[in-house]
Chains A and B, each alone.
Chain A
Amino acid sequence: MNKIIPEAHKESILQALQIKASIEEKQKLSIGNIEAIGKLKDTTLEAYTDYRNLKRKFNMAMTLIDMFKD
């Protein structure tokens, strides 16, 4: 059934969606999620030039190696 959502509720709904997303994100970190933790690492290390440079050099070499594999 198509229900028209009153304007007053729309804002509450949008806020609820944001809160739900935020809670779920924190929950992942709390219970342990290596992927979520890994993203923290990248966020932190992005600020550090040398790791980023080293990783980029490695990725470029692996891109070339991929071409040999085809």
Chain B
Amino acid sequence: MKISVDHVTNSSSESFGTVIVDSIAAIGLAIPFIAVTMGNSDLNKDSDNEETSGDEYDYEPYESTDPSDPSGTIIQKNRDGSVTKTHPDGTKGTKMPDDTVYVSAPDGTTGVIEPDGHQILTMPDGTKVEHYTDGTSYAEYPDGTSRVEYPDGTVKELNPQGEMIQVNPDGSFMVREPGKTTSKVYNPEGRFVGMSDERGTDIKVDENDEVKGTYVSPSGEKLEVTGNLNSGLVMQNDKGTKIEIDEDGGLVGAMVKDENGYLQIDENGAIKSEGKNPETGVTYTLDFNPDKGLKYKDSNGNFIDVDATGKGSARVVDDQGTLSIDKDGRVEATDKEGNYENYIPNDDGSATWESGDANGPKVTGVIDKEGNVEYTATDGSKLKITKDSTLTITDPSGNETSYTKAQIDNMVAEQKANVSAIDDAFKGGK
């Protein structure tokens, strides 16, 4: 896109109000550039001699005397000391007493050029552009893409999905995928040649797909990477951490070690780990095998001992309370206030569920083999919830009312909307 306006000169031969829009041919979207010069401020000195006309503005429109501009530019001196030039094609520039210039073009482009040359522009499609005095340009496009062009020719672009692309002056480029902090590096021909990031990661891939370099994790730990993309990679450090993958990216084995413990994972996904919390001194051991089950225990007496299906026993204490499971499938959960829930399997395949507090049971229910739940509420009502979520309420008088899942879902949605509205009202500062 290129718009050029014939510039006119005033009597002192200074260009004034030139507006040129030119697109820079570069990879991806280009940042539109507007070069505007408003000339010198000699014209402002005439404002002292203006006659007051009683109109809102004192102005003396006149044709340009520049023979190279026969169509004429209208110059308007404004009461506030600014001077506006309107060019034959409709582009306009207004220079303020402090040398700030406001510009507009017939296509809808508007902007301001600060006295130091910094430009802030808005294009007709909503693109916002800034040109800084050091030569850097920045653009933000309506779709959310942002782009920076540096004086050395480096271009960085961030798209709405979070992907960042950087093109270097030599034609090489880097791509950082959404959610990642390390970028993949490509040479000008598009070959994958390594990885890098701002933490110091520097991994190179040569023309034979040999890999060598250092990866620096977000926590600052360094791992040396070696291998070949076609046969497998190894990442390791001098503290005993070693992770191996095969040519398909499958895990061959992993050992992650630090001064407090280790975590070992094999190619089948079996996990062994032992460690110690340096802050509390609590120690733990963990042994998980997808075919055999999970064994965990720690020095606080917590343990999990279940087979591959999850059947077994456990005792877990966390900030919500205590949960225990015995080998018969009895589950007991107690919170820190003494409220409890017990689930007790019965011989006929059903189970009893009991909820209470420190004073004893409050609600007792049964879940049958089909998964239907029945219980008696504290007010004496009996509730039955079928496996497909149909609910029947029988009040103490014996009146029975049933609700379908759809009716219940609508009611829940309505409740959530009401709660959300109340939350918003509180956030409004009431």
Query: A: which residues have CB within 8 A of B?
Result: 2-3, 5, 9-10, 12-17, 19-20, 22-23, 26-27, 29-38, 40-41, 43-51, 53-58, 60-70
Contact = CB atoms under 8 A, between A and B. Distances in A.
Which 6 pairs across A and B sit closest by C-beta, in order of nearness? Answer: A32-B311, A26-B343, A50-B275, A69-B249, A34-B310, A54-B263
A19 B373 contact: yes
A61 B251 CA distance: 11
B218 A51 contact: no
A56 B363 CA distance: 42
Contacts of B251: 62
A27 B377 contact: no
A30 B314 CA distance: 10
B298 interface: yes
Contacts of B167: none
A27 B256 contact: no
B353 to A, nearest CB: 5
Contacts of A55: 263
Interface stretch (B5-13, B61-69, B107-115, B277-285): B277-285
B36 interface: no
Interface stretch (B91-99, B135-143, B329-337): B329-337
A63 B81 CA distance: 62
Given A20-B385, A67-B184, A32 B367 contact: no
Given A36-B310, A67-B195, A54 B233 contact: no
Nearest to A30: B329
Contacts of B123: none
B383 A41 contact: no
B294 A23 contact: no
A13 B325 contact: no
A65 B279 contact: no
A24 B296 CA distance: 24
Nearest to A33: B310
Given A40-B323, A53-B258, A58-B256, A65 B314 contact: no
Contacts, number: 203
Contacts of A32: 306-307, 309-312, 329
B307 A65 contact: no
A50 B277 contact: yes
A13 B277 CA distance: 44
Contacts of B260: 49-50, 53
A69 B250 CA distance: 9
Given A12-B383, A51-B275, A65-B249, A37 B408 contact: no
B3 interface: no
Tell me the dominant secondary structure on chain B's binding face: strand
7 contacts: A12-B383, A22-B341, A26-B341, A34-B306, A37-B304, A40-B314, A68-B249
A50 B249 contact: no
Contacts of A46: 318
A58 B243 contact: yes
A1 B297 CA distance: 54
Contact of A67 (B182, B298, B310): B182
A70 B333 CA distance: 45
B223 A61 contact: yes
A5 B391 CA distance: 12
Contacts of A26: 331, 333, 341, 343, 353
Q: Which of A9, A48, A58 has the most CB of B within 10 A?
A: A48
B38 interface: no
Given A27-B351, A44-B298, A5 B411 contact: yes
Contacts of B383: 12, 16
Given A48-B284, A51-B275, A34 B308 contact: yes
A30 B345 contact: yes
Given A31-B311, A31-B329, A64-B215, A51 B273 contact: yes
B261 A27 contact: no
B420 to A, nearest CB: 16
B365 interface: yes
A9 to B, nearest CB: 6
Contacts of B375: 19
Contacts of B279: 49
Contact of B343 (A3, A30, A58): A30
A51 B284 contact: yes
B391 A58 contact: no
A6 to B, nearest CB: 8
